[in-house]
Amino acid sequence: MAADKEKKDKDQELKDKIVENANKVVDNASLAMLNKALDDCVETCFDRMETQKNQCTFGKSGVCCRICHMGPCRITPKAPKGICGATADTIAARNFLREVVGGTAAHSDHGRHLVLKLREIAKGEGHGYTIKDEKALVRVAKLYGIETEDKTASQIALELTDIFLHDFMSQEDYLATLALAPQKRQGIWQQTGVAPKGVDRMCVEAMHRTTMGVDHDYKNLLMHAFRTSLADGWGGARIASMTSDILFGTPAPLKSAANLGVLKNETVNILIHGHEPTLSEMLTFAVKDPEIAEYAKAAGAEGITIAGVCCTANEVLMRQGVVIAGNSLQQELAVITGAVEMMVIDVQCCMPALPEVAAHYHTEIVSTQEIAKMAGATHMGFDEEAPIESAKNIIKRAIDNFKNRDPEKVKIPSEHEPLIAGFSVDAIKYMLGGKYRASFRPLNDAIIQNRILGIVGIVGCNNPKQRADSYSGILAEELIKRNVLVIETGCAAIAAGKAGYMTPEYAREHAGAGLAEVCEAVGIPPILHMGSCVDNSRILEAATEIVKEGGLGDDIAGLPAVGVAPEWMSEKAIAIGCYCVASGVDVILGNEFYVSGSEKVSKFLYEDTKELFGASFHLIEDPMEAVERIIEILNAARDALGINKKVERKLFDMADRRSAH
Ligand code: SF4
Ligand code: MSK
């Protein structure tokens, strides 16, 4: 009897968990894998979210300080000061600045790595890496005033990398890359004192300012947070995107697919996960080698499927059309398919739980970077002096693991959606204006004529605190209905791809009339995939192009444009949010910063920044409320620009169509 009851209770518990799982994720592929995890007794981040449910309120409100060992100190009404006398304002601002440093350092170290690679190539030490896009090299060099006539690619690359490296190392000079911003914005940065000097200096200075007994003025600390973030968006991250384009090619529209259903039963499945394209580009190159195809065949596989996770996925999607297995919260779920021979990780967003999940299957987790090892993973240091051999060794090892796959444990969801990605700024210009008249003019005109209400960037991660991909999905659907052109990066972009939003057909069926007309005339989806997390700098680049094109004001602030980080979780998202606000773009957060313990810090971030930069943060946890707020912000910008007059609705005629090409 007792055994019967126990079984009944267990069955009920399982049923309850299956019901709960449906509230954790939006897409059916993820749901199927969460339910499989229950059967396979595998713990995921969604379970650990439950065990971490009662998160520390001091941490969440930003008033826990462990900067010195007199502490840790926690601020309460009864204990309003730390042992040193630091107030909630100082502590919350210091913690916030340190988060911005974390994000800035991550993007910038990624950028530095690429710049050093470009420099090696220029010196003839590329070891198999080459400059794939010389046009991009010349285009970027010209931005920095480098004379390119009669020079070899190597000479140009050497001069350019000198400038880039100076942007990392400079002690006194302002970043050269700041000059890529609209003139007026540069003036605002100088006036407010947030124009950054070298990226490395900004990060070191921030760590100095926040150590015990240095900077205690919350405003001064927060201003340095914005200054540091600008060294990211208009420094490290922007340099990373430009250098990736030079090294691996400027993205242009291409077809691919996204979601766990891209994995195949009959092939060796290799996942590439992280952020940097250096290794993943080589893997996608090496996998095409006939020797590798033969090797896979000999192992009984019908071929090899390489699929991406997180922003490594976005990098190789944008340039090679490599399929996407999933975004951040699907990294464990992809392994749970039981069909993955190897997950190769580089840097950032790779959960340390992966080897434990992999231990339930035959999957091998392989770390490749000296700075990013993982307990329980196999480390195969990627030899950048012999990259093709290194990549082949990794792939062969995955093929060797194919025989260990247990068919009983394999269940690959069928879901995957087609998508078009590859919308670099250059590609957008080309799509809008054609080869000879590539420009943003048709887009500016569409905004001025009210076919497009404005532009919204939906960026960032997903987070188990929210139903994964739900907020970003609702936002995207509702905004395009209201004629807002949506641009996306990072894990949010993957969510949109999985949902099937990134095809021109989706515009025809779901976008508002004005946006649908523009999408049809130009041949673009209503939601443009602009790349990885570092590629948020492409959004700033696009905004700058729109300003330069004319008719919509003389600064990024004032454009009918908004940024949203609906489900963010990473420090990188904080840095991104800060450089967007400092660039004049209002940013809506779907979940909170950890600053609520200081009214002053909160007010500064959510209100006072408007005065300083013309934009601020807005915390809006409900997606429909966010939609309404976004429309308000876009309309206010349109009013201020004097373009919100009711224009007579007319369909795109032939002249309009021609001018869009
Ligand atoms: Fe406490 Fe001040 Fe030390 Fe922070 S710096 S732990 S508030 S004594
Ligand atoms: S990968 S930073 S979870 S977007 Fe760029 Fe996704 Fe956020 Fe990592």
Answer for the pair 313, 276: CB distance below 8 angstroms, yes or no.
no
Token digits of residue 152: 């070899």
The dihedral built from the CA positions of residue 564, 566, 571 and 573, taken in this order, carries a sign that is negative
Q: Which pLDDT score, from 0 to 100, does residue 71 have?
A: 97
Q: Whose CA is nearest to atom 3 of ligand 1?
A: 68
The 10 Å Cβ neighbour count of residue 87 is: 17
Enumerate residues 6+ apart whose C-beta is below 8 A from 500: 417, 418, 419, 506
Helix axis angle, 387-400 to 277-286, nearest 10°: 70
CA angle 26, 28, 29 (to 5 degrees): 115
Whose CA is closest to 258, among 319, 300, 307? Answer: 307
Residue 86 CA: which ligand 1 atom is closest? 7
Q: Whose CA is nearest to atom 2 of ligand 1?
A: 84
Q: Which pLDDT score, from 0 to 100, does residue 652 have?
A: 55
The 10 Å Cβ neighbour count of residue 40 is: 15
Q: Give tens-digit pLDDT for 258-292.
A: 999 999 999 999 999 999 999 999 999 999 999 99
Substitution site in 275, 318, 491 for ligand 2 pocket (most atoms within 8 Å of beta carbon): 491
Q: Whose CA is nearest to atom 7 of ligand 1?
A: 82
Whose CA is closest to 111, among 161, 175, 174, 155? Answer: 161
Run of H or E including 332:
helix 331-336
User: Is the minimum distance from the CB of 311 to ligand 2 under 6 angstroms?
Assistant: yes
The dihedral built from the CA positions of residue 264, 338, 274 and 565, taken in this order, carries a sign that is positive
Residue 570 CA: which ligand 2 atom is closest? 2
Band (16; pLDDT cuts 50, 70, 90): confident
Whose CA is closest to 635, among 440, 447, 444? Answer: 447
Substitution site in 69, 70, 215 for ligand 1 pocket (most atoms within 8 Å of beta carbon): 70
Answer for the pair 317, 538: CB distance below 8 angstroms, yes or no.
no
Whose CA is closest to 270, among 168, 392, 121? Answer: 392
Residue 460 CA: which ligand 2 atom is closest? 4
Instruction: Give the ligand whose atoms come closest to the C-alpha of residue 85.
Output: 1
Q: Which pLDDT score, from 0 to 100, does residue 586 have?
A: 98
Task: Give the three-class secondary structure for 390.
Answer: helix
Q: Distance, CA 213 to ligand 1 centroid (Å)?
A: 9
Cα separation, 204 vs 644, whole angstroms: 46
Residue 66 CA: which ligand 1 atom is closest? 6
Instruction: Give the ligand whose atoms come closest to the C-alpha of residue 573.
Output: 2
Q: What is the 3-state secondary structure (H, E, C) of 188-251?
A: HHHHHCCCCCCHHHHHHHHHHHCCCCCCCCHHHHHHHHHHHHHHHHHHHHHHHHHHHHHHHCCC
Measuring CA to CA, how many Å separate 209 from each of 63, 74, 102, 221, 243? 17, 20, 15, 8, 31
Q: Distance, CA 356 to ligand 1 centroid (Å)?
A: 36
Q: Distance, CA 469 to ligand 2 centroid (Å)?
A: 13
Instruction: Give the ligand whose atoms come closest to the C-alpha of residue 273.
Output: 2
Q: Whose CA is nearest to atom 4 of ligand 1?
A: 65
Task: Give the three-class secondary structure for 282.
Answer: helix
Cα separation, 518 vs 656, whole angstroms: 9
Q: Whose CA is nearest to atom 8 of ligand 2?
A: 349
Q: Distance, CA 302 to ligand 2 centroid (Å)?
A: 32
Instruction: Give the ligand whose atoms come closest to the C-alpha of residue 458.
Output: 2
Enumerate residues 6+ apart whose C-beta is below 8 A from 18: 35, 38
Q: Which pLDDT score, from 0 to 100, does residue 251 have?
A: 98
Q: Give tens-digit pLDDT for 291-301.
A: 999 999 999 99
Q: Give tens-digit pLDDT for 168-213.
A: 999 999 999 999 999 999 999 999 999 999 999 999 999 999 999 9
List pocket residues of ligand 1, CB cut-off 6 Å: 65-68, 70-73, 82-84, 86, 91, 212
Answer for the pair 612, 229: CB distance below 8 angstroms, yes or no.
no
pLDDT over 90 (residue 443):
yes
Q: Distance, CA 525 to ligand 2 centroid (Å)?
A: 23
User: Is the minimum distance from the CB of 103 to ligand 2 under 6 angstroms?
Assistant: no
Answer for the pair 195, 230: CB distance below 8 angstroms, yes or no.
yes
Global pTM reads: 0.95
Band (11; pLDDT cuts 50, 70, 90): confident
User: Is the minimum distance from the CB of 490 to ligand 2 under 6 angstroms?
Assistant: yes
Instruction: Give the ligand whose atoms come closest to the C-alpha of residue 576.
Output: 2
Q: Distance, CA 90 to ligand 1 centroid (Å)?
A: 10
Q: Distance, CA 311 to ligand 2 centroid (Å)?
A: 6
Measuring CA to CA, how many Å separate 527 from each of 282, 458, 519, 595, 659? 29, 10, 10, 32, 21
Answer for the pair 34, 21: CB distance below 8 angstroms, yes or no.
yes
Instruction: Give the ligand whose atoms come closest to the C-alpha of residue 68.
Output: 1
CA angle 577, 240, 388 (to 5 degrees): 135
Q: Give tens-digit pLDDT for 477-495.
A: 999 999 999 999 999 999 9
Residue 459 CA: which ligand 2 atom is closest? 4
User: Is the minimum distance from the CB of 330 to ligand 2 under 6 angstroms?
Assistant: no
Mean pLDDT for 440-456 is 96
Answer for the pair 255, 324: CB distance below 8 angstroms, yes or no.
no
Q: Give tens-digit pLDDT for 545-603.
A: 999 999 999 999 999 999 999 999 999 999 999 999 999 999 999 999 999 999 999 99
Mean pLDDT for 70-74 is 98
pLDDT over 60 (residue 658):
no
Residue 90 CA: which ligand 1 atom is closest? 7
Q: Whose CA is nearest to atom 7 of ligand 2?
A: 461
301-325 burial: b if 16+ Cβ within 10 Å, else e:
beebbbbbbbbbbbbbbbbbbbbbb
Measuring CA to CA, how many Å separate 388 from each of 133, 226, 277, 367? 20, 40, 14, 17
Task: State phi, psi for 504 to the nearest 5 degrees.
Answer: -60, -30
Instruction: Give the ligand whose atoms come closest to the C-alpha of residue 313.
Output: 2
Average pLDDT score, the chain: 95
Answer for the pair 405, 339: CB distance below 8 angstroms, yes or no.
yes
Instruction: Give the ligand whose atoms come closest to the C-alpha of residue 74.
Output: 1
Instruction: Give the ligand whose atoms come closest to the C-alpha of residue 326.
Output: 2
Q: Which pLDDT score, from 0 to 100, does residue 653 have?
A: 55
Q: Which pLDDT score, from 0 to 100, does residue 7 have?
A: 83
User: Is the minimum distance from the CB of 460 to ligand 2 under 6 angstroms?
Assistant: yes
User: Is the minimum distance from the CB of 572 to ligand 2 under 6 angstroms?
Assistant: yes
Residue 81 CA: which ligand 1 atom is closest? 7
Residue 213 CA: which ligand 1 atom is closest? 5
Answer for the pair 604, 495: CB distance below 8 angstroms, yes or no.
no
Answer for the pair 190, 612: CB distance below 8 angstroms, yes or no.
no
Q: Which pLDDT score, from 0 to 100, does residue 571 have?
A: 98
Residue 68 CA: which ligand 1 atom is closest? 3
Cα separation, 594 vs 608, whole angstroms: 18
Answer for the pair 549, 441: CB distance below 8 angstroms, yes or no.
yes
Measuring CA to CA, how many Å separate 402 from each of 302, 333, 343, 358, 477? 11, 19, 13, 14, 40
pLDDT over 80 (residue 654):
no
pLDDT over 50 (residue 661):
no
Q: Distance, CA 198 to ligand 1 centroid (Å)?
A: 29
Helix axis angle, 88-122 to 153-169, nearest 10°: 160
User: Is the minimum distance from the CB of 461 to ligand 2 under 6 angstroms?
Assistant: yes
Q: Distance, CA 72 to ligand 1 centroid (Å)?
A: 6
Answer for the pair 23, 465: CB distance below 8 angstroms, yes or no.
no
Q: Which pLDDT score, from 0 to 100, does residue 290 have?
A: 96
Q: Whose CA is nearest to atom 6 of ligand 1?
A: 71
Substitution site in 310, 316, 330, 465 for ligand 2 pocket (most atoms within 8 Å of beta carbon): 310
Give Dmax over CA atoms of the chain in angstroms: 89
Q: Whose CA is nearest to atom 3 of ligand 2?
A: 461
The dihedral built from the CA positions of residue 214, 217, 223 and 226, taken in this order, carries a sign that is positive
Q: Distance, CA 490 to ligand 2 centroid (Å)?
A: 5
Q: Give tens-digit pLDDT for 40-57.
A: 999 999 999 999 989 999
